[in-house]
Each structure stands twice: as C-alpha cells, then as structure tokens.
C-alpha cells in the first residue's frame, strides 16, 4: 500500500474479494465501491499573524443502509479525497461487522495540526464544523476523532454546531470530554476491546486465557490498557515495548508499574526489572498471545518467521501484511483482525451516542460491562463465521470472514430496503 490511490484500490480489492467469497450479487460491489455523498469544503482561517490561510477539507458519507453515517475526522498533511473515501468504506464495514446501527463516514482536513497554535487549531476546528454542518447531525452523521484530532477538538466542534442550531446537540460528535457529555471509558475502550478479543480467541483456540503468556507491541494508550486488562484477567504479560525498547520478563511484568514508569519518564524501558531488548523484540518473544498495538506493517514477510504467538489480536490498524498473515495461518496461528479487535473505540462511541440521545449516563462499571458484552458477542460471531467458511471454502483467514460478515449485513439491509 504505497500512495493514496493504491490504498483505495486495495480496499476495493478487499471488497471485491469479500463479495465473491460470500457469494453476493455483483451489484453489491458496484454500490459499495462508491460513496453515497462527498462534500469538499474550503475553510478560511485567520492565523495568529493576521494572514488568512484556506484549508481543504472533506466529509465522505459512504453508505447509510444500516443507519446514520459514523466515522472519524482526520487532521493530517497527507490526506486527500481518495484516502477519505477508502477510510469511509472501511468504516461501513467496521460498523457493520460490529453490529452497530451505523453506516460509514469519514472526514479530513489537509493540515499538520502540530504546526498550528492552540487558537489557530480552535478556529480551524470550528470552521470545519460550520462547513460540514449542513450534512451532519445526531441522527444523520456522527463524527468522532481520528489521527490528529482529540476530545478537545470534538468539544470545539460540538459547541460550534450547537451554536448553529441554537441548542445543545451533544450526540452529533462522540469521544468528547466527560465534562461535555463524553464518557470516561472512551479513553481506554480500544485497549480494553483488544484484550477482550484476545481473551475470546484464546479461550476458543488455546482452551483458556488465564495463565497464558502475553506480549504487547506498542505501549501507548491502546497497548497499555490491552496489557492492563490481560493481566487483570489472569494472563501473564511477559513483554511490553515502545520506541525506547522492549521490557521482557518471563516471570511476568507488573503492568500498573510499567504504566506509571511510562507516564512519569516517557519510556517504558525505564521499568526497573526485566531484560531490556530492542523495540521490535516484543513481536518475537516466546508467548501464547501477541497484541500488536503500535503502527501498521510491523509483522511482514521478512520477520514473520520470528513471531511465535499462536493468537494475535490486532490493536493497531494493519499491523500484519497479507504475506505475513498467510505464513502465520499456514503455521496454525489465528489472527483476530483489526476491524474486529480494535473496535472497542467505535463501540464506545455508539454507547456515548445512545447516552447523549437519552440525556442519560451509565456508570463506568456499567459502561465497561456493556462494551465487554458487545465485543464478546461480536468476536464469537466472527469466529463462528470463520469456522463455517473454513469448512465450506477451505483455507481462509479470520480477516476474510470478517469482511464477508460485514458485507453480508450491509447487503441484507440494502436488499430489505429495496436498493437491490
């Protein structure tokens, strides 16, 4: 996947393969290969030096068969419309796979947010919210953060949209700060969900989760909470890593201590015990379960022979290349794909949206219980589909099953609506 066009083409190829593997009519591909609506906007922003800079932005609304559009907003200097279209298609499939009442959408502004002051970033955020306001709403299209955006930006956007409407509309954006109708569980929901996915898969394919050895590659927000809940549920976390290096201890790592070390020093390698190895060593240590939670393409054809884990739960987006995935499956490993394993974030966004529509809030404990139930059911349904496809079609991956399951639900909705 090099270049923006190739990413869209790759997504379309995945879609085409899924339609063929699932035996769906060809028109399903033709409909889903193009978004229902695309909005391009220009956002003039007065900079701190008094000059006006015009930023380019998009909102892609891909498919609404299952419900309102849902997907993040990305602030990044290299985004373009084709990338946004590919990401919106991905959100249609992700929302469908995870049983959510959403279609897919995605938004972006071509900007490096690190180069803006806080006041410039606020003006840009509010400008983007105004520009896309005619097409979004708590029952029409519900954006959320993505790369380069955060809860503060969502707060500015929900405030700007509410001003336009003349009333508070909390449900139009999700992953907001808790003080503005957000839910504190959103902070760690993706890592929590990644651990849930690992646990369900391990119980199915390794017979248990408690007592198994776990390694976590990437010790940012997702990796920290994936490790924390894996340990809490009885697994032994033997390795964690960030860009500073890997901490390896076959006797088990105190995850809460590692989190405190990371927070206070910025580097997990400063953890006081264990063996210190290079950053990628967490991918290769002797373990039962691996949770790659950093960046894409870390397990590749050139290093897959060193990966020993039997169950892999993808906390990051695209950590395993197709070539490496093929090798792992031939070896007997199982990969819970990113589209399912890291869905805790969008599941939590759904719960926050439901809270906002009702003006009602669940406790942190009840929210976690709801995410856990939804994620467990989704992963079990995916495993059942994987086993079914494997018996019918021969060698397939759980990723194949995930995309077939996702397309199947959208197809049934479009068919019932009379679109097909």
Per-residue pLDDT of the chain (420 residues; tens, 9 = 90+): 443 336 788 889 889 989 999 999 999 999 999 999 999 999 999 999 999 999 999 999 999 999 999 999 999 998 999 989 988 999 999 999 999 999 999 999 999 999 999 999 999 999 999 999 999 999 999 999 988 899 999 999 999 999 999 999 999 999 999 999 999 998 889 999 999 999 999 999 999 999 999 999 998 888 999 999 999 999 999 999 988 889 999 999 999 999 999 989 988 888 898 889 898 999 998 999 999 998 777 888 899 889 899 999 998 887 888 888 888 888 989 999 988 999 999 999 999 999 999 999 999 999 999 999 999 999 999 999 999 988 888 888 898 899 999 999 999 999 999 999
* 171/143 Cα distance (integer angstroms): 10
Residues 166 and 227 in one domain: no
Residues 206 and 69 in one domain: no
Q: Residue 80, Cα to own-chain centre: how many angstroms?
A: 20
What single-letter DSSP state applies at residue 220? S
pLDDT at 3: 39
Hey, what long-range contacts does 5-9 have (CB within 8 A, 24 or more apart)?
A: 5/82, 7/82, 7/83, 7/86, 8/82, 8/83, 8/85, 8/86
Please measure the distance between the N-terminal and C-terminal CA atoms of the chain and give it in whole angstroms: 32
Residues 245 and 308 in one domain: yes
Residues 117 and 196 in one domain: no
32 assigned to some structural domain? no
417 assigned to some structural domain? no
For residue 156, what is the domain's CATH number?
Answer: 3.40.50.10860
The 334-336 sheet, strands edge to edge: 275-277, 245-248, 236-242, 213-217, 289-292, 311-313, 334-336
402 assigned to some structural domain? no
Structure-block tokens of residue 331: 């070896």
Radius of gyration of the chain (CA): 21
* 139/172 Cα distance (integer angstroms): 8
Q: Decide: helix, strand or coil at residue 372.
A: helix
Residues 169 and 242 in one domain: no
Count of the separate structural domains present in the chain: 2
Residues 201 and 169 in one domain: no
* 363/369 Cα distance (integer angstroms): 10
* 251/229 Cα distance (integer angstroms): 18
Respond yes or no: is residue 236 known to be catalytic.
no
List Cα–Cα distances, 330 to 301, 324, 395, in angstroms.
13, 10, 9
- Given the structure tokens 């007997």, which residue do they identify? 332
For residue 297, what is the domain's CATH number?
Answer: 3.40.50.720
396 assigned to some structural domain? no
373 assigned to some structural domain? no
Q: Decide: helix, strand or coil at residue 168.
A: coil
Cβ atoms of 218 and 299 within 8 Å: the answer is no
Residues 124 and 210 in one domain: no
* Domain containing residue 265: 189-341
What single-letter DSSP state applies at residue 332? T
Instruction: List all residues 6 or more positions away from 76 whose beta carbon is below 8 Å from its beta carbon.
Output: 108, 110, 111, 112, 147, 148
Residues 130 and 53 in one domain: yes
Give the number of other CB atoms < 10 A from CB of residue 412. Answer: 15
Structure-block tokens of residue 146: 């993505």
380 assigned to some structural domain? no
Residue ending a domain, among 153, 176, 199, is 176
Residues 201 and 265 in one domain: yes
* 398/290 Cα distance (integer angstroms): 16
Cβ atoms of 87 and 70 within 8 Å: the answer is no
Exactly one of 16, 34, 94, 106 is catalytic; which is it?
106
139 assigned to some structural domain? yes
Burial 110-148 (b: 16+ CB within 10 A, else e): bbebeebeeebbbbbbbbbbbbbbebbbbeebbbbbbeb
98 assigned to some structural domain? yes
Q: Decide: helix, strand or coil at residue 380.
A: helix
Give the bridge partners for 145, in sequence order.
73
Residue ending a domain, among 286, 310, 341, is 341
Residues 194 and 276 in one domain: yes
Residues 68 and 117 in one domain: yes
Residues 112 and 197 in one domain: no
Give the bridge partners for 54, in sequence order.
44
Q: Decide: helix, strand or coil at residue 69.
A: strand
Residue ending a domain, among 313, 341, 369, is 341
């Amino acid at each position: 996947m090099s270049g923006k066009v190739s990413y869209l083409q790759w997504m379309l190829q995945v879609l085409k393969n899924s339609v063929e593997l699932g035996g769906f009519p060809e028109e399903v591909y033709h409909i889903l290969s193009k978004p229902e609506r695309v909005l391009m906007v220009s956002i003039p922003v007065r900079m701190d030096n008094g000059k006006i800079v015009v930023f380019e932005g998009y909102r892609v609304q891909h498919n609404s068969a299952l419900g309102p559009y849902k997907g993040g907003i990305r602030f990044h200097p290299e985004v373009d419309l084709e990338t946004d279209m590919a990401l919106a298609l991905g959100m249609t499939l992700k929302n469908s796979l995870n049983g959510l009442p959403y279609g897919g959408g995605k938004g972006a502004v071509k900007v490096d947010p690190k180069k803006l002051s806080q006041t410039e970033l606020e003006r840009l955020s509010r400008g983007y919210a105004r520009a896309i306001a005619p097409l979004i709403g708590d029952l029409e299209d519900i954006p959320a953060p993505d790369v380069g955006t955060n809860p503060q930006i969502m707060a500015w956007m929900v405030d700007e949209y509410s001003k336009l409407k003349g009333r508070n509309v909390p449900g139009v954006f999700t992953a907001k700060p808790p003080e503005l109708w957000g839910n504190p569980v959103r902070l760690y929901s993706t890592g929590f969900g990644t651990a849930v996915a690992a646990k369900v898969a391990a119980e199915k394919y390794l017979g248990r989760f408690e007592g198994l050895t776990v390694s976590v590659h990437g010790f940012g927000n997702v990796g920290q909470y994936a490790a924390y809940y894996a340990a809490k549920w009885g697994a032994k976390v033997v390795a964690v890593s960030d860009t500073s290096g890997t901490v390896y201890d076959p006797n088990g790592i105190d995850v809460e201590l590692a989190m405190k070390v990371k927070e206070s020093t910025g580097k997990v390698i400063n953890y006081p015990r264990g063996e210190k190895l290079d950053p990628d060593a967490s991918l290769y240590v002797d373990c039962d379960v691996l949770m790659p939670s950093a960046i894409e393409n870390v397990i590749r054809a050139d290093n897959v022979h060193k990966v020993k884990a039997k169950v892999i739960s993808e906390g990051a987006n695209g950590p395993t290349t197709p070539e490496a995935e093929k090798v792992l499956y031939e070896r007997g490993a199982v990969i819970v794909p990113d589209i399912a394993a890291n869905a805790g974030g969008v599941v939590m966004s759904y719960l926050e949206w439901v809270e906002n529509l009702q003006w009602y809030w669940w406790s942190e404990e009840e929210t976690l219980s709801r995410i856990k139930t939804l994620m467990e059911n989704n992963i079990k349904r995916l495993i059942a589909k994987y086993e079914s496809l494997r018996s019918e079609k021969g060698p397939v991956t759980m990723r194949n099953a995930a995309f077939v399951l996702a397309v199947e639900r959208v197809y049934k909705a479009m068919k019932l609506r009379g679109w097909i």
